[in-house]
């Protein structure tokens, strides 16, 4: 087991399915300031998952649980304040999602009008398929 120092104020994303850590990391990077310490740990042993990834971020920001749930619904989000676990949240596949996925219908209004963010409603949980609020087309998250 690799020893990684704990964080004082920030967020620890735990129980990430091994391999998803980098995806989540890339998604979050535009939300994290350049000078913030971030640790991405990959392929460590997990009782639940066999192998898991962990991300530690020494920063408090509004982490988008919907987006996390879409990428990996195993993730647990730990909020650390003054070196102590303050809150813990389990993510889930979101019922609704806004502005994160793009409608696959090329004629959908959401591609032409910058003022509208399509809202997608969960259609098939197992296949991560969502229905567009504008055109009713089904888009699969991949
Ligand atoms: Zn659409």
Q: Which two tokens stand for residue 61?
A: 């920001």
Q: Which of 44, 45, 58 is closest to 5 using CA atoms?
A: 58
pLDDT at 47: 87
* CA–centroid distance, residue 141 to ligand 1 (Å): 14
Tell me how far the alpha carbon of residue 93 lies from the centroid of ligand 1, in angstroms: 20
CA of 99 relative to ligand 1 center, distance in Å: 11
Burial level of 126, CB count in 10 A (0-12/13-18/19+)? exposed
* Strands 50-57, 38-46: pairing kind: antiparallel
Q: Which pLDDT value is given to residue 4?
A: 56
Q: Output the pLDDT for position 1.
A: 45
Instruction: Report which of 26, 27, 51, 56 is spatially closest to residue 40, judged by C-alpha positions.
Output: 56
Name the strand (E) or helix (H) holding 65: helix 65-71
Mean pLDDT per 10-residue interval, the chain, length 142 residues: 71 95 88 87 91 93 89 94 93 91 92 83 96 95 88
User: What is the structure's pLDDT at 5?
Assistant: 64
């Amino acid at each position: 087991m690799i020893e990684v120092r704990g964080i004082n104020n920030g967020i620890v994303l735990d129980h990430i399915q091994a391999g998803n850590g980098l995806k989540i990391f890339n998604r979050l990077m535009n939300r994290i300031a350049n000078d913030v310490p971030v640790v991405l740990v990959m392929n460590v042993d997990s009782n639940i998952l066999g192998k898991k990834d962990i991300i530690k971020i020494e920063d408090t920001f509004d982490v988008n649980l919907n987006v996390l749930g879409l990428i990996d619904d195993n993730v647990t989000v730990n909020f650390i304040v003054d070196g102590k676990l303050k809150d813990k949240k389990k993510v889930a596949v979101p019922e609704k999602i806004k502005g994160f996925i793009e409608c696959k219908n090329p004629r959908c209004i959401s591609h032409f009008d910058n003022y509208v963010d399509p809202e997608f409603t969960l259609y098939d949980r197992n296949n991560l398929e969502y229905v567009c609020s504008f055109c009713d087309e089904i888009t699969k998250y991949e």
